[in-house]
Amino acid sequence: MTHVLAEGLAFPEGPVFAPDGSLRLVEYEGGTLTRWEAGQIERHAAGGQPNGLVFDSRSRAWVCDAGRNAATV
């Protein structure tokens, strides 16, 4: 069974649950760090071409950037 959580995302990658329980991901083509919770989408400009996301032990979000060939906090 498939459940669609969100539509209209611009090449979503790196889905991960944040420490607060919300689902986070990056949108490669949109250049955003995206938060999904309870059916609501909130986008924040990440710049570049984000293509991966992880939270570290201090709850900081690390974003991989394909355009810069780097990772940023």
pLDDT, one tens digit per residue, over 14-47 is: 999 999 999 999 999 999 999 999 999 999 998 8
* pTM (two decimals): 0.88
In a domain, 4, yes or no: no
Give the domain extent around 38.
10-53
The number of distinct structural domains making up the chain is 1
CB-CB contact of 4 with 14 (8 Å): no
Q: Does residue 1 surpass a pLDDT of 90? A: no
Note whether residue 20 is domain-resident.
Answer: yes
Least Cα distance to 12 among 60, 71, 4 occurs for 4
Q: Does residue 17 fall inside a structural domain?
A: yes
CB 24 within 8 A of CB 35: yes
Is 24 inside a domain boundary?
yes
Instruction: With respect to residue 46, please indicate whether it lies within any of the assigned structural domains.
Output: yes
Residue 29 zone, left/alpha/beta (φ > 0; ψ -120 to 50; rest): alpha
Residues 47/28, Cβ–Cβ less than 8 Å:
no
Residue 5 lies in a domain: no
